[in-house]
C-alpha cells in the first residue's frame, strides 16, 4: 500500500520505520531537507522536502492515490489541514495526530466527521491510558487490553519465590483451576511461544492472558498481587500527565503533579480541580522527599527528558516506592533502561506505531475473512499479540483447536464470544463472530487464516 | 566496514553474471561454434567464485555508504575479470590484459577495442562483447536489485554509487521497484530498436548486437567499418536511438505516469537538445565540402555528433579525416556527455549546467560582494553541499585525466592520439582521434597502458569515487 507520512519528527520517524518494515511503499514529507536525506539513507523510502500543506508538495508525494495519509507534524492544525487537503486530492484514509486536550473532548467527533479523518491519534492520551492500566495492577510490567476489555494480557516477571518457578505449563494447568494461559516467555534475549512441556524459571518474563474479572484472583493466587496504586506522584506537567491525572480523578483518586513552569501549573490547576499541583524542579531530590515520595504508591516520570525520567525513577526505587513508570522516547535508552532494572517503560511513539501498523494491516485485509482489530508488539517487539474479529465461516471455524495445524511459534491466547471469555483448550472451537487473540513470534499475520500452517 | 556483507553481496552478483553468460552460450550453440566450451568454462568459474563469496556469512546486514561504494566497485572489477575469461579460454584474444581491456571497455560502455580484425571473431563471443554494453549501461547492481530481493534496507547506497549524475533520487518509494521500472523502460526501448532495425533489413543477429551497443551507449560493432556499410535508414534509426538513450530515464518514467509538464520543463533535456542541434549544424556546415548531397552531409554529421555526445562511439565516417574544427567540436562533446540518469558517460549535462551557473554566481559576487543568490536547477535552488560536491568532482575529473595522461605518456604515439585516448576512455566514448580513431584500435598500447586505461574506464563509468574508495587502504582497515 502507498503510505505518505507528513512530518518526520520522533513519532513520525518511528511510524515510518515500522510501516516500511511491514513492506509498504512509504513516502516521507518533511520541510527539513536534512531530515529527508537522513531518512532516505537509512530506510527504503522516498523523501519529498516541502510543506505538508502545500499542494505542490502533496502532489509530488503522490497524495492523490495513496492508501493512507498520516500527518504527524507537531502542530495539530497543520495535521488537520494537510489531512483535509490530502483527502480532497483522493487519499483513501487520512490519519492525523491531534494532541491538544481542547480538541480531544467533545469537538473531536465533529472535527473528525467534517475533516473526513479516518482516525485521530493522540499519542499522549494513549500513553496515559497505558500507564493507568499498569497502575491498576502494579505487579504488571505492562497490560494489553483488547477491544471488549474483558480479556487482558498481562506481563510480569517471575520472582525467585514464585510458585510457578520450576513447573511445566502442563503441571501449572493441572494445579490451578483458574482460567489463564501463559502465551509468551522471555528468557534473556530470547522470546518463546511455549508449548505444554516448557518449564518456567525464575527471572523469566511471562505474558499471560486471562479474563479481566479473574485477573485479581489469579494474581493473588500466584502471590504476585500488589494493590492498585492510589497515591501517585507525576513528574512533569506534560499533556500525558494531564490525561493521566484526569483518569485518576475520575477514578476517585488524586494525583500530585510536579511541574516547573508557572504558567503550565496554573493551566493544570484550572483543568484539574482535584489534583495537587506543585511548582518546582522535580529533579531536586529534596523536593521529591518533601512531597512524600517515600510514602507514595507509584512514581510516574513524564518529563520531556528521557535521561531525567530514568534517573529519577531509579531514585524512586531507592526510596522503596513500590512502582515506577517511565516515559522513554529514544529506543536506545529504552533498552538501556531495561538493563538498569526499569521495566515499566512507556514509549508514546511505539504505541503510535503499533496502532498505525495495525490499521495498515486491517486496511490491506479489508476484503479478507477477518481483519486485525488490535495489534501489540510485545517483549521488545519480538512477538505480537493480535486480535481478530472473525466475520464469516472458514476452514478454521467449527473445528476443535487440537485438530488445527498452527504455524510454529504461534498460539491462540483467548476467544471472546459475546460477553463470555474463553481461555482455549484443545476442545474449544472458533465460531463466526468470535474475537480471537493470537500470540505469535516471527510470523507476519494479516488474516486469521494466516495462522494455519 | 562490514566486509563480510560486501563479499556476500558480491557473491550474489557473480551468480547473476553466470546467468548473463547464458545468452552468448545459446548464441554459440545456434551457430555451432567452438567458443561454447570456453563460455561454459567461464560460467563454471563464475559459479565457483560466487559460491565461495556467498558462503561468507555476514554477522549483520547493515551497510552504509562506504559499503555501498565498495560493493559497487568490487562487483565491477569481478565482473570484468571473469567476463574476460571466454576470450582467453577460446584463444581469440590470447593475452589476458587485452581481454580484460576489452571486457572493461564493454561493461563500462566505452567501446574502445584492441581488436584489429573483428570480422574473424566467433559470433558467440561478439554477442557477449556487445551484451556487456547492455548490462553495464543501466548498471549491473541496479539490475541485480531488480531481480534479487536485497537483504538490507539501505540498498540506496549501492544504487547511488552506481547511477550516474550528481543527484540520484528514487522514482518510487522502494529501491527495488525503482530498479524494476528503470529496467522495464530500458528493455522496452531495446526491443523497439531491435524491431526497427530488423524491419529495415538488418539480420536479427546484427540488430541485436548493434542495439546492445546503442542501448548501453557502448559502441562495439561486428564490422571493421562500424556502421558505415549499413543503409541510411538503419543509420538514422541508430542515430535517433543514441539520442534516446542519452536522455535521463527518469523523464521516461514521468512521461509514463503522464506528468508531461515536468518532462517538458526539464532544463537538462532542453540543453541536451540545444547542444545536439547546434553541434550537428556546425559540423554539417564544416564538412559539407567533403560530401556531395545535403542529406548525406546531415546524416554523417548527425550520426557522428550523436555517437560522440551520447558516448557511444559508433562511426559511419572516419572523422579523423574531417577538418580540425569538426574534430575539436567532437572532442569537446566527449567531455560533456549526455544527461545524468542515462546510460551515457562523460561529465553529464546537468553538471555542466550547474558548473556554469555557479561560475556566473561567483562572477556576480565579485561585482556585488554583498549579493545573495542561489543557484537554481530544474526549478529548485541547490544547497551549498551539492554545489561544492560538483566542484570537487570536477577537480577529481581533471586530476585523473592528467594523471592517466602522464602514466601513458611514454607510449610512442603523438599527443593527439594519447590525449584523445585518455578522454575517450575516461568518458566512456571509445574511439578517439589519431591512431585510436574510428578505423584504428588500442592494440598498439603496451599491456601496462591497457590496464591503466581500463582503470580509467571504470573510474569514468562509476563516477570516480567508488574506485578511489576501493583503492584507499583506510576503507579496508579492520577497525575504523
ipTM exceeding 0.90?
Answer: no
- B159 and B145 Cβ atoms separated by less than 8 Å: yes
Report which of residues B230 and A104 the model is more confident about: B230
pLDDT at B131 over 90: yes
Residue B89: Cβ within 10 Å count: 18
User: Which of B153, B154, B173 is the closest to A46 by Cβ?
Assistant: B173
The architecture (CATH level 2) of A362-451 comes to: 2-Layer Sandwich (3.30)
Q: State the SS3 of A212-268.
A: HHHHHHHHHHCCCCCCCCCEEEEECCCHHHHHHHHHHHHCCCEEEEEECCHHHHHHH
pLDDT digits (tens, 9 = 90+) for A342-352: 778 888 888 89
Q: At what angle do helices B447-461 and B384-407 cross, to 10 degrees?
A: 170
Give the model's pLDDT for residue B304. 93
**B47 in a structural domain:** yes
pLDDT digits (tens, 9 = 90+) for A430-439: 888 888 888 8
**B478 in a structural domain:** no
Highest mean pLDDT of the ranges A264-278, B110-124, B300-314: B300-314
Which three three-digit cell numbers place residue B169?
533520487
Average pLDDT in the B372-384 region?
82
Which of A16, A46, A62 is most worth mutating to test chain B (most B CB atoms within 10 A of its CB)? Answer: A46
d(Cα B183, Cα B186) in Å, to the nearest integer?
5
Q: Domain A2-121: give its CATH superfamily.
A: NAD(P)-binding Rossmann-like Domain (3.40.50.720)
Report which of residues A39 and B399 the model is more confident about: B399
- Domain residues for the domain of B24 are 3-252
Domain residue extents for chain A: 2-121, 128-221, 231-321, 362-451
CB contact, 8 Å: B210 with chain A?
no
Contact B383 A43 (CB under 8 A): no
Instruction: Give the fold, CATH level 3, of A128-221.
Output: Alpha-Beta Plaits (3.30.70)
Helix or strand holding residue B390 (H, E): helix B384-407
User: Which of B65, B175, B383 is the closest to A44 by Cβ?
Assistant: B175
Average pLDDT in the A114-125 region?
89
pLDDT digits (tens, 9 = 90+) for A276-316: 888 988 788 888 888 888 888 889 999 888 888 888 888 88
Which of A41, A57, A66, A67 is most worth mutating to test chain B (most B CB atoms within 10 A of its CB)? Answer: A41
Query: Do A128-221 and A362-451 have matching folds?
Result: yes
**B164 in a structural domain:** yes
Average pLDDT, chain B: 88
Q: Which 3 state secondary structure label does DSSP give B393? A: helix
pTM (predicted TM-score): 0.81
| Closest approach of A360 to chain B, Cα-based (Å) | 17
- A397 and A390 Cβ atoms separated by less than 8 Å: yes
Which of B173, B258, B374 is most worth mutating to test chain A (most A CB atoms within 10 A of its CB)? Answer: B173
How many domains in chain B? 1
DSSP calls for B309-329: HTT----SS-GGGS-HHHHHH
pLDDT digits (tens, 9 = 90+) for B147-174: 776 656 667 777 776 776 666 667 777 8
**B246 in a structural domain:** yes
Contact A44 B154 (CB under 8 A): yes
CATH number of A231-321: 3.40.50.720
**B60 in a structural domain:** yes
d(Cα A229, Cα A231) in Å, to the nearest integer?
6
**B135 in a structural domain:** yes
Amino acid at each position: 500500500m502507498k503510505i505518505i507520512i507528513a512530518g518526520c519528527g520522533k513519532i513520525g520517524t518511528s511510524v515510518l520505520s515500522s510501516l516500511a518494515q511491514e513492506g509498504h511503499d512509504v513516502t516521507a514529507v518533511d520541510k527539513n531537507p536534512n531530515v529527508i536525506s537522513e531518512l532516505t539513507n537509512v530506510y527504503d523510502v522516498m523523501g519529498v522536502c516541502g510543506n505538508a500543506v502545500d499542494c505542490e508538495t502533496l502532489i509530488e508525494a503522490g497524495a492523490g492515490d495513496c492508501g493512507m495519509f498520516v500527518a504527524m507534524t507537531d502542530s495539530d492544525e497543520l495535521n488537520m489541514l494537510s489531512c483535509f487537503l490530502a483527502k480532497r486530492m483522493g487519499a483513501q484514509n487520512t490519519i492525523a495526530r491531534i494532541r491538544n486536550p481542547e480538541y480531544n473532548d467533545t469537538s473531536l467527533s465533529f472535527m473528525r466527521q467534517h475533516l473526513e479523518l479516518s482516525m485521530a491519534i493522540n499519542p499522549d492520551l494513549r500513553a496515559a491510558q497505558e500507564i493507568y492500566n499498569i497502575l491498576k495492577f502494579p505487579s504488571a510490567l505492562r497490560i494489553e487490553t483488547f477491544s471488549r476489555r474483558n480479556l487482558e494480557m498481562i506481563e510480569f516477571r517471575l520472582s525467585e519465590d514464585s510458585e510457578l518457578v520450576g513447573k511445566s505449563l502442563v503441571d501449572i494447568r493441572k494445579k490451578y483451576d483458574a482460567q489463564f494461559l501463559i502465551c509468551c516467555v522471555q528468557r534473556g534475549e530470547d522470546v518463546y511461544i511455549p508449548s505444554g512441556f516448557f518449564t518456567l524459571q525464575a527471572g523469566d518474563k511471562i505474558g499471560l492472558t486471562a479474563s479481566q474479572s479473574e485477573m485479581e484472583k489469579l494474581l493473588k493466587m500466584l502471590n504476585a498481587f500488589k494493590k492498585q496504586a492510589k497515591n501517585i506522584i507525576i513528574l512533569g506537567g506534560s499533556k500525558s500527565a494531564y490525561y493521566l491525572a484526569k483518569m485518576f480523578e475520575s477514578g476517585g483518586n488524586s494525583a500530585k503533579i510536579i511541574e516547573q513552569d508557572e504558567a503550565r501549573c496554573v493551566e493544570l490547576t484550572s483543568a484539574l480541580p482535584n489534583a495537587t499541583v506543585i511548582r518546582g524542579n522535580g529533579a531536586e531530590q529534596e523536593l521529591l522527599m518533601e512531597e512524600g515520595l517515600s510514602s507514595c504508591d507509584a512514581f510516574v516520570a513524564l518529563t520531556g527528558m528521557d535521561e531525567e525520567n530514568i534517573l529519577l525513577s531509579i531514585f524512586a526505587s531507592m526510596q522503596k516506592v513500590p512502582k515506577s513508570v517511565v516515559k522513554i522516547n529514544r529506543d536506545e535508552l529504552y533498552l538501556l533502561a531495561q538493563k538498569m532494572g526499569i521495566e515499566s517503560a512507556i514509549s508514546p511513539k511505539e504505541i503510535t506505531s503499533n496502532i498505525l501498523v495495525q490499521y495498515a494491516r486491517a486496511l490491506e485485509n479489508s476484503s479478507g475473512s477477518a481483519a486485525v482489530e488490535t495489534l501489540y508488539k510485545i517483549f521488545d517487539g519480538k512477538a505480537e499479540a493480535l486480535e481478530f474479529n472473525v466475520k464469516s465461516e472458514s476452514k478454521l471455524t467449527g473445528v476443535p483447536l487440537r485438530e488445527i495445524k498452527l504455524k510454529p511459534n504461534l498460539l491462540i491466547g483467548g476467544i471472546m464470544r459475546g460477553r463470555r471469555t474463553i481461555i482455549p483448550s484443545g476442545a474449544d472451537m472458533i465460531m463466526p463472530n468470535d474475537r480471537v487473540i493470537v500470540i505469535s513470534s516471527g510470523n507476519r499475520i494479516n488474516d486469521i487464516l494466516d495462522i494455519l500452517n | 566496514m562490514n566486509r563480510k556483507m560486501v563479499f556476500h553481496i558480491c557473491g550474489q552478483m557473480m551468480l547473476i553474471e553466470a546467468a548473463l553468460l547464458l545468452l552468448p552460450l545459446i548464441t554459440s550453440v545456434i551457430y555451432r561454434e567452438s567458443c561454447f566450451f570456453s563460455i561454459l568454462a567461464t560460467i563454471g568459474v563464475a559459479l565457483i567464485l560466487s559460491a565461495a563469496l556467498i558462503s561468507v556469512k555476514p554477522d549483520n546486514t547493515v551497510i552504509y555508504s562506504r559499503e555501498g561504494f565498495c560493493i559497487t566497485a568490487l562487483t565491477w572489477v569481478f565482473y570484468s575479470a571473469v567476463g574476460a575469461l571466454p576470450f582467453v579460454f577460446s584463444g581469440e584474444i590470447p593475452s589476458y590484459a587485452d581481454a580484460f581491456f576489452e571486457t572493461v571497455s564493454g561493461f563500462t560502455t566505452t567501446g574502445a577495442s584492441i581488436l584489429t580484425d573483428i570480422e574473424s571473431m566467433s559470433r558467440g563471443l561478439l554477442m557477449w562483447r556487445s551484451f556487456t554494453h547492455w548490462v553495464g549501461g543501466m548498471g549491473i547492481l541496479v539490475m541485480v536489485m531488480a531481480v534479487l530481493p536485497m537483504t538490507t534496507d539501505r540498498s540506496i547506497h549501492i544504487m547511488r554509487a552506481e547511477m550516474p549524475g550528481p543527484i540520484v533520487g528514487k522514482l518510487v518509494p522502494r529501491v527495488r521497484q525503482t530498479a524494476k521500472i528503470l529496467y522495464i523502460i530500458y528493455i522496452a526501448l531495446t526491443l523497439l530498436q531491435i524491431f526497427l532495425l530488423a524491419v529495415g533489413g538488418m539480420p536479427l543477429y546484427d540488430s541485436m548486437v548493434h542495439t546492445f551497443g546503442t542501448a548501453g551507449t557502448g559502441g562495439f560493432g561486428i564490422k571493421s567499418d562500424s556502421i558505415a556499410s549499413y543503409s541510411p535508414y538503419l543509420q538514422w534509426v541508430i542515430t535517433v536511438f543514441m539520442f534516446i538513450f542519452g536522455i535521463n530515464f527518469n523523464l521516461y518514467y514521468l512521461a509514463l505516469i503522464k506528468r508531461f509538464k515536468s518532462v517538458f520543463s526539464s532544463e537538462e533535456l532542453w540543453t541536451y537538445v540545444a547542444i545536439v542541434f547546434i553541434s550537428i549544424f556546425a559540423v554539417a556546415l564544416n564538412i559539407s565540402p567533403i560530401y556531395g548531397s545535403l542529406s548525406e552531409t546531415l546524416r554523417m554529421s548527425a550520426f557522428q555528433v550523436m555517437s560522440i555526445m551520447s558516448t557511444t562511439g559508433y562511426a559511419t565516417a572516419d572523422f579523423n579525416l574531417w577538418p580540425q574544427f569538426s574534430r575539436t567540436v567532437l572532442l569537446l562533446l566527449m567531455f560533456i556527455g549526455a544527461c545524468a540518469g542515462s546510460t551515457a558517460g562523460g561529465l553529464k549535462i546537468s553538471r555542466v549546467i550547474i558548473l556554469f551557473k555557479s561560475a556566473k554566481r561567483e562572477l556576480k559576487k565579485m561585482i556585488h560582494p554583498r549579493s545573495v543568490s542561489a543557484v537554481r536547477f530544474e526549478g529548485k535552488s541547490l544547497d551549498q553541499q551539492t554545489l561544492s560536491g560538483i566542484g570537487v568532482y570536477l577537480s577529481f575529473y581533471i586530476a585523473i585525466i592528467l594523471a592517466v595522461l602522464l602514466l601513458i605518456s611514454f607510449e610512442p604515439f603523438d599527443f593527439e592520439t594519447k590525449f584523445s585516448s585518455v578522454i575517450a576512455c575516461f568518458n566512456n566514448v571509445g574511439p578517439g582521434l589519431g591512431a585510436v580513431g574510428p578505423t584504428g584500435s588500442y592494440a598498439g598500447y603496451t599491456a601496462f597502458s591497457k590496464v591503466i586505461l581500463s582503470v580509467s574506464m571504470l573510474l569514468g563509468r562509476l563516477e570516480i569515487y567508488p574506485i578511489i574508495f576501493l583503492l584507499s587502504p583506510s576503507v579496508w582497515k579492520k577497525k575504523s
